[in-house]
Amino acid sequence: MSAPAMILPRQAVATSAAGPAPAQPFRLAAGGLVDRTATLDFTFDGRRYTGHPGDTLASALLANGVRLVGRSFKYHRPRGILSSGPEEPNALVELRSGARREPNTRATMAELFAGLEARSQNRWPSLRFDLMGVNQLVAPILAAGFYYKTFMWPAAFWETVYEPLIRRAAGLGRAAGEPDPDHYEKATLHCDVLVTGAGPAGLMAALAAARAGARVVLCEEDVRLGGRLLAERRTLDGLPAPDWLRGVEAELRAMPDCRILTRTTVFGAFDGACGAVERVSDHLATPPEFQPRQRLWRIVAGRQVLAAGSIERPLVFGGNDRPGIMLAGAVRSYLNRFGVAAGRRAVVFTNNDDAACTVADLAAAGVAVAALVDMRREVSPEIRRIAEAAGASLLTDAAVTRVRGRTALRGVEVTDGAGRRHALDCDLLAMSGGWSPSLHLASHHGGKAAWNEARATFLPPEQLPPGMAVAGAANGDLLLAECLAAGARAGAAAAQATGFRPAPPATPSVDGESTASAPFWWVRGGRGKAFVDFQNDVGVEDVALANREGFRSVEHLKRYTTLGMATDQGKTSNANGVALLAELSGRTIAGTGTTTFRPPYTPVAIGALAGHHRGKAFRPVRRTPTHDWAAEQGAVFVEAGPWLRAQYFPRPGESDWLETVTREARTVREAVGLCDVTTLGKIDIQGPDAATFLERVYINTWKALPVGRARYGVMLREDGMVMDDGTTARLAEDRFVMTTTTVNAVRVSQHLEFCHQWLWPELDVQMISVTEQWAQIAVAGPRSRAVLERVVDAPFDIGNDAFPHMACAALTVCGGIKARLFRLSFSGEMAYEIAVPARFGDALARRLMEAGAPFGITPYGTEALGVLRIEKGHVAGNELTGQTTAADLGLGRMMSRKKDFIGRAMAQRPGLTDPARPVLVGLRPVDRAARLRGGAHLLPRGAESTAAHDQGYLTSVAFSPALGHWIGLGLLVRGRERMGEIVRAHDPVRGGDLEVEVVPPVFVDPEGARLHV
Amino acid sequence: MRIACPFCGPRGSEEYTYLGDATVRRPEGDAPSEAWFAYVYLRDNPAGRHRELWYHGAGCRSWLVVERDMRSHDILSVAPARDMALARGRAA
Ligand SMILES: [Zn+2]
């Protein structure tokens, strides 16, 4: 029987003023789920074409007769479209242009939109005349393990020769090279039942669970619900599949607790949640306003049903990669869903009954079918009837042994069981090696897919991720009736397990079908290279070579040949590769096993994983209460831990930061300055046992500290190294406020909670961070008291007798604002720190500037703070490296011998009390004009500049305004015994080497007299 | 991974900070150095059930003792560390 020709004749249809785009010569006259009332323009490699809403780029290209869409990865062989789904290994294209250019997009998944720009990849200079195609001629040296064998030596060749060569020759697409202009967002969903896949099994699962009242999330990576039903001419409950699907979708959408996410791929089953990516705007030229390009979902489900369907396997025969050779199911998909004939004269090549549907569907659409080539010796009468009705000759016990055509298929040669050869003209070869379950997510918790001999396929592992059930084709059920029933059962069971009472689900009746299959994988003796993995250009001989060279574990095979790697992760190649290796190595497939499937199921854009956390929003910015004031003062800001702090305040006429910082530091020593120190961690510690608690976390003693006094404290880690330091003030008998360094604020807080909750739960003490509740400003310098007297409310006396160094008090400032005043000094000058509720911080800074104006007050930033503390030999982050002990830092005498505290025992270890440890010293250049560099290594004079002679390094350096030359702090082996010795500060990175003198670390006012005035 | 905080309910693991083994006990101050060395450095890595300390820093600031199967990441129990520490003290 020959069906009437239904393919549109070629005709020129003008679709825009810019010139005529060609018609769609392979679009069928009717049928499919595309909207023929609208036409979309798009370009491929600069040529203009048209398609319809509902098309994918792949279906639109096929409708236009475009067969050649890319070049293969290694040999640059011409490649066409193989599939119609996410498994596509060949048709990878670049979409869009400029900053939105996106490489390696599967044409089978890209929805067509007006103005879509697509380009082929991996060809130079053009797709049709690709010079790299000569790689085919040197194919023998590009065999398995080529990278490992060829690019081994010399190492220096890697960067200069090999890498650029490989990148040029074997790259996939090009990244945009510009920041992505679109937004991505992240969100979380909670539900009772997650259903992955909206094919027949998934829809029935969702229906069964939702009808029982469960909160259901149904994820479908396609834009439409239906799965394979969209691609087949099937009847359910007497309705054509599209009509049946409309009814199911309407029911699901009407249920308030059923959420349907289309264009959403569940890419990973993780511990406690699944990851999914929703392509919100990928089907549009640009995202609508306020919409992200993609949305990353974390889905927390009580139970989940994996109904991801299955993927058809190619057959392995010589030349099986020619454009025009496609999967038989994909051919049906293009016919029935998109109304596109993938060719004009077809041959169908199979080892199973399912491909006979392709024969029937092609014939029904008016495409000539030259032959049905079946590898099996016997086929059923039904298959014979289908072939006969299609006018196709049936060749059994036969295989394609030769392929004609280079950039497009022109014909095949078939050899039958009797050795007879049949030459057949065709431009389309539909092949089917059977279907493999999409069980990837079922293996994401480490369960290994298991080979099922009866079904000749890998099935999901017994050990599934917790709460997961697999249903339908993903579980190896290939018959529609099985899929529907299994889906309904799985959905009901999931609802039951999450506390609902599902009714026994009814399943629709369907028309007859057969999916019988025989395990034939590979055609021996054919002409040309037979590919197993199209994307990685891995052929039969590569697997054979790997086997000969001993790479017989599937995991080794994968790494050695790259089979199953790259963006498609072997979706179409895995089963064939394993079967081939099993046969070559004389093992069973079950004994050979399969590689482990890991997330993600399909590639996920880094942008989706990053979400909004990029650029300025990479992490939250914390600003101090005086930030705006500091900005008005012209401050330059620096990141300090999570905070932005004022680094220095340049003034007009100052030539560089050093001049500014020197002026700020000198002003503090000579007059007065103010500095926001809010970022230091503040922890409020209360309770009858508060002092006891501090005794245990600090190395020094606290019980005797009077109320109204503060003390410097050092805390260790349990291993004996210094963890943090700061001053802690006693506000009341049972109340302290601790300060920590800026960067350790969170860590110390967590540590204190650990000590209390886990080590000493019997202590009656509570603590909470109040860092953000209080703005704190240091006022330092000989005129600091004069400034504060204008701010502190009367009658509070801040004179030296009433309020000496290390005093603290609660009082009011600026006419009734509650405040805490501490007489603390990091600079070595008479100094105060004043804390007010955070909302008054800005006002306080302004008031202090006003009050200090007559005394020449200056704001100073973290740089001047650093200079002042280095002059005083105070340690800071550069010295608290996690590798220094209290003794190393000259604080060993603070360690109480009368009590236990965190780190005490381990601090006594021989290694930590070794007198040869590097300890804190001061260093100054012998040539006073020389500049010191932080990080320079300290070496003995006359010693060779090698690591063996390394005796320490400069931890902190500064230009000292007080001394008029550079000074430094450093850690030096036996430093305290070496005062006056000259050593070298060797700086191999910046090329410096100068002599420095070892001096005590306190450069300014070693007696501390300036503190007590 | 999700951990059911006894105070806050089930939350993603990114809200928590992991510390480690909850089966080691801090020695008394005068314990021999070997005991301290074991406490600070020596850890078992059982293939199976293990008790660990987690801190709910982005939640209620509780330290929790989480019993977890190291092979499957199944969480078998979660309890406030302070309650367990107090019970341990009573038992001692
Ligand atoms: Zn909590």
Residue B19's closest CA among A883, A466, A757? A757
| The pLDDT of residue A164 | 59
Q: Mind listing the pLDDT tens digit for each residue in B16-65?
A: 999 999 999 999 988 999 999 999 999 999 999 999 999 999 999 999 99
A297, with CB counted inside 10 A (0-12, 13-18, 19+), is: buried
Q: Mind listing the pLDDT tens digit for each residue in A217-243?
A: 999 999 999 999 999 999 999 999 999
Residue of B nearest to A275 (CA): B1
| The pLDDT of residue A1 | 35
Chain A residues with CB under 8 Å of B26 CB are 718, 759
Chain A residues with CB under 8 Å of B80 CB are 757
Picking from A252-256, A358-362, A835-839, B71-75, which range would have the lowest pLDDT averaged per residue?
B71-75
- SS3 assignment, position A695: helix
Residue A95's closest CA among A111, A123, A117? A117
- SS3 assignment, position A363: helix
Contact flag B81-A272 (C-beta cutoff 8 Å): no
pLDDT band at A4 (very low <50, low <70, confident <90, very high): very low
Which neighbouring-strand residues pair with A798? none
User: Which domains, ranges and CATH numbers included, belong to chain B?
Assistant: 2-91 (3.30.2270.10)
Query: Which DSSP category does A136 fall into?
Result: G
A271 close to B (CB below 8 A): yes
Q: A401-435 burial, b if ≥16 CB within 10 A, otherwise e? A: bbbbbebbbebbbbbeeeeeebebebbbbbbbbbb
Contact flag B85-A758 (C-beta cutoff 8 Å): yes
Distances (CA, A) of A844 to A796, A819, A848, A857: 18, 11, 6, 14
ipTM of the complex: 0.98
Q: A870-906 burial, b if ≥16 CB within 10 A, otherwise e? A: bbbbbbbbbbbeeebbbbbbbbeebbeeebebbbbbb
Please answer whether residues A431 and A313 qualify as being in contact, where contact means their C-beta atoms are separated by less than 8 angstroms.
no
Number of Cβ within 10 Å of residue A330's Cβ equals 27
A897 close to B (CB below 8 A): no
Query: Which DSSP category does A423 fall into?
Result: E
Residue A431 scores a pLDDT above 50: yes
Query: Which DSSP category does A316 fall into?
Result: B
pLDDT band at A197 (very low <50, low <70, confident <90, very high): very high
Residue A16 scores a pLDDT above 50: no
Q: What is the CATH number of domain A681-770?
A: 3.30.70.1400
Residue B16 CA to ligand 1 centre (angstroms): 9
Q: Which of B1, B55, B89 sits opposite A272 (nearest CB)?
A: B1
Q: Mind listing the pLDDT tens digit for each residue in A672-716?
A: 999 999 999 999 999 999 999 999 999 999 999 999 999 999 999
Task: List all residues 6 or more positions away from A971 whose beta carbon is below 8 Å from its beta carbon.
Answer: A879, A884, A888, A918, A919, A920, A921, A952, A953, A955
| The pLDDT of residue A393 | 96
CA distance from start to end of chain A: 113
Tokens found for residue A968: 């430094």
DSSP letter string, A333-344: HHHHTT-B-S-S
Rounded-to-integer distance, Cα A470 and Cα A489, Å:
11
Please answer whether residues A1011 and A1002 qualify as being in contact, where contact means their C-beta atoms are separated by less than 8 angstroms.
no
Q: Which of B1, B28, B63 sits opposite A758 (nearest CB)?
A: B63
Residue A519's closest CA among A448, A462, A597, A590? A590
Which of A:741-760 have CB within 8 Å of B?
746, 750, 753-754, 756-759
Please answer whether residues A577 and A564 qualify as being in contact, where contact means their C-beta atoms are separated by less than 8 angstroms.
yes
Q: Mind listing the pLDDT tens digit for each residue in A62-116?
A: 999 999 998 887 888 899 999 999 999 999 999 998 999 988 899 999 999 999 9
Residue type, B54: W
- CATH class of this structure's domain A620-679+772-871: alpha beta
Q: Mind listing the pLDDT tens digit for each residue in A138-195?
A: 565 566 665 566 555 555 665 666 555 555 554 567 788 899 999 999 999 999 999 9
Chain A residues with CB under 8 Å of B1 CB are 270-272
Rounded-to-integer distance, Cα A594 and Cα A562, Å:
14
pLDDT band at A11 (very low <50, low <70, confident <90, very high): very low
Residue A9 scores a pLDDT above 60: no
pLDDT band at A455 (very low <50, low <70, confident <90, very high): confident
Looking at domain A10-142, does it have CATH number 3.40.50.150? no
Residue A772 scores a pLDDT above 70: yes
Which of A:295-314 have CB within 8 Å of B?
298, 300
CA distance from start to end of chain B: 34
B17 close to A (CB below 8 A): yes
Chain B residues with CB under 8 Å of A718 CB are 26, 39-40
Residue A250 scores a pLDDT above 80: yes
B33 close to A (CB below 8 A): yes
- CATH class of this structure's domain A184-310+437-497: alpha beta
Residue A196 scores a pLDDT above 60: yes
Tokens found for residue A500: 């609902």
B19 close to A (CB below 8 A): yes
Contact flag B55-A754 (C-beta cutoff 8 Å): yes
A257, with CB counted inside 10 A (0-12, 13-18, 19+), is: middle
Q: Which of A445, A750, A761 sits opposite B82 (nearest CB)?
A: A761
Contact flag A718-B39 (C-beta cutoff 8 Å): yes
Contact flag A753-B39 (C-beta cutoff 8 Å): no
Rounded-to-integer distance, Cα A141 and Cα A982, Å:
62
Contact flag A298-B81 (C-beta cutoff 8 Å): no
Contact flag A466-B62 (C-beta cutoff 8 Å): no
Contact flag B2-A906 (C-beta cutoff 8 Å): no
Mutation site for A-interface testing, chosen from B55, B68, B75 by largest number of A Cβ within 10 Å: B55
Q: A989-998 burial, b if ≥16 CB within 10 A, otherwise e? A: eeeeebebbb
Q: Mind listing the pLDDT tens digit for each residue in A907-938?
A: 999 999 999 999 999 999 999 999 999 999 99
Report, as an integer, the average pLDDT of A251-271: 97
Q: Mark out the alpha helices in A873-942 (DSSP H runs).
A: 904-907, 910-913
**Phi and psi at residue A687, to the nearest 5°:** 130, 160
Report, as an integer, the average pLDDT of A716-738: 98
Find where tokens 């990669």 sit.
A321
**Phi and psi at residue A712, to the nearest 5°:** -80, 135
Q: Which of A273, A756, A906 sits opposite B36 (nearest CB)?
A: A906
**Phi and psi at residue A184, to the nearest 5°:** -130, 145
Please answer whether residues A600 and A571 qualify as being in contact, where contact means their C-beta atoms are separated by less than 8 angstroms.
no
Mean pLDDT of chain A: 92
Contact flag A762-B31 (C-beta cutoff 8 Å): no
Residue A721 scores a pLDDT above 70: yes
Rounded-to-integer distance, Cα A806 and Cα A730, Å:
11
Residue B40 to chain A, least CA–CA distance (Å)? 6
Rounded-to-integer distance, Cα A267 and Cα A282, Å:
17
Residue of A nearest to B41 (CA): A719
Where in chain A are the domains?
Answer: 10-142, 184-310+437-497, 620-679+772-871, 681-770, 915-1012
B68 close to A (CB below 8 A): no
Report, as an integer, the average pLDDT of A292-303: 98
Rounded-to-integer distance, Cα A82 and Cα A301, Å:
35
Contact flag B89-A762 (C-beta cutoff 8 Å): yes
Report, as an integer, the average pLDDT of A722-729: 98
Residue of A nearest to B23 (CA): A758
Residue A733 scores a pLDDT above 70: yes
**Percent of residues, chain A, with pLDDT higher than 70:** 93
**Phi and psi at residue A248, to the nearest 5°:** -65, -45
Containing A663, the helix (H) or strand (E) segment is helix A657-670
Distances (CA, A) of A315 to A232, A437, A515, A583: 21, 16, 16, 15
Chain B residues with CB under 8 Å of A750 CB are 17, 55, 57
B60 close to A (CB below 8 A): no
Residue of A nearest to B2 (CA): A272
A770 close to B (CB below 8 A): no
Please answer whether residues A354 and A517 qualify as being in contact, where contact means their C-beta atoms are separated by less than 8 angstroms.
yes
Please answer whether residues A409 and A282 qualify as being in contact, where contact means their C-beta atoms are separated by less than 8 angstroms.
no
- SS3 assignment, position A11: coil
Chain B residues with CB under 8 Å of A912 CB are none
DSSP letter string, A971-1006: EEETGGGGTT-EEEEEETTTTEEEEEEEE-S--S-T
Query: Which DSSP category does A594 fall into?
Result: -
Residue of A nearest to B27 (CA): A905
Residue A445 CA to ligand 1 centre (angstroms): 27
pTM for the structure as a whole: 0.88
| The pLDDT of residue A727 | 98
Picking from A30-39, A544-553, A980-989, B55-64, which range would have the lowest pLDDT averaged per residue?
A544-553
Residue of A nearest to B37 (CA): A906
Please answer whether residues A861 and A637 qualify as being in contact, where contact means their C-beta atoms are separated by less than 8 angstroms.
no
Tell me how far the alpha carbon of residue A648 is from its chain's centroid. Answer: 37
| The pLDDT of residue A619 | 87
Contacts 24+ apart (CB under 8 A), A377-381: A377/A417, A379/A353, A380/A353, A380/A514, A380/A516
Rounded-to-integer distance, Cα A799 and Cα A325, Å:
94
pLDDT band at A414 (very low <50, low <70, confident <90, very high): very high
pLDDT band at A315 (very low <50, low <70, confident <90, very high): very high
CATH among 2.40.30.110, 3.30.410.40, 2.40.50.140, 3.90.79.10 for A915-1012: 2.40.30.110
Task: List all residues 6 or more positions away from A657 whose beta carbon is below 8 Å from its beta carbon.
Answer: A636, A647, A648, A650, A863
Residue A639 scores a pLDDT above 60: yes
CA atoms within 13 A on the CB side of A974: 10
Residue A501 scores a pLDDT above 70: yes
B70 close to A (CB below 8 A): no
Distances (CA, A) of A600 to A110, A312, A313, A561: 19, 20, 21, 21
Rounded-to-integer distance, Cα A104 and Cα A125, Å:
18
Mutation site for B-interface testing, chosen from A464, A693, A758 by largest number of B Cβ within 10 Å: A758
Sheet order of strands, B63-69 included: B17-21, B49-55, B63-69, B75-80
Report, as an integer, the average pLDDT of A183-209: 97
B38 close to A (CB below 8 A): no
**Percent of residues, chain A, with pLDDT higher than 90:** 81
Q: How many residues does chain B have?
A: 92
B26 close to A (CB below 8 A): yes
Containing A579, the helix (H) or strand (E) segment is helix A574-584
CB pairs under 8 A between A and B: 67
Find where tokens 């990244």 sit.
A175
Distances (CA, A) of A84 to A73, A330, A340, A771, A923: 20, 5, 12, 58, 72
Residue B14 CA to ligand 1 centre (angstroms): 12
Task: List all residues 6 or more positions away from A152 whose beta carbon is below 8 Å from its beta carbon.
Answer: none
Tokens found for residue A315: 């057959």
Residue type, A616: K
Which of A:443-482 have CB within 8 Å of B?
445, 466
Report, as an integer, the average pLDDT of A750-766: 97
Residue A473's closest CA among A315, A305, A601? A305
Residue A127 scores a pLDDT above 50: yes
Contact flag B36-A757 (C-beta cutoff 8 Å): no
Residue A568 scores a pLDDT above 90: no
Residue of B nearest to A897 (CA): B29
Tokens found for residue A45: 């490699």
Report, as an integer, the average pLDDT of A787-815: 97
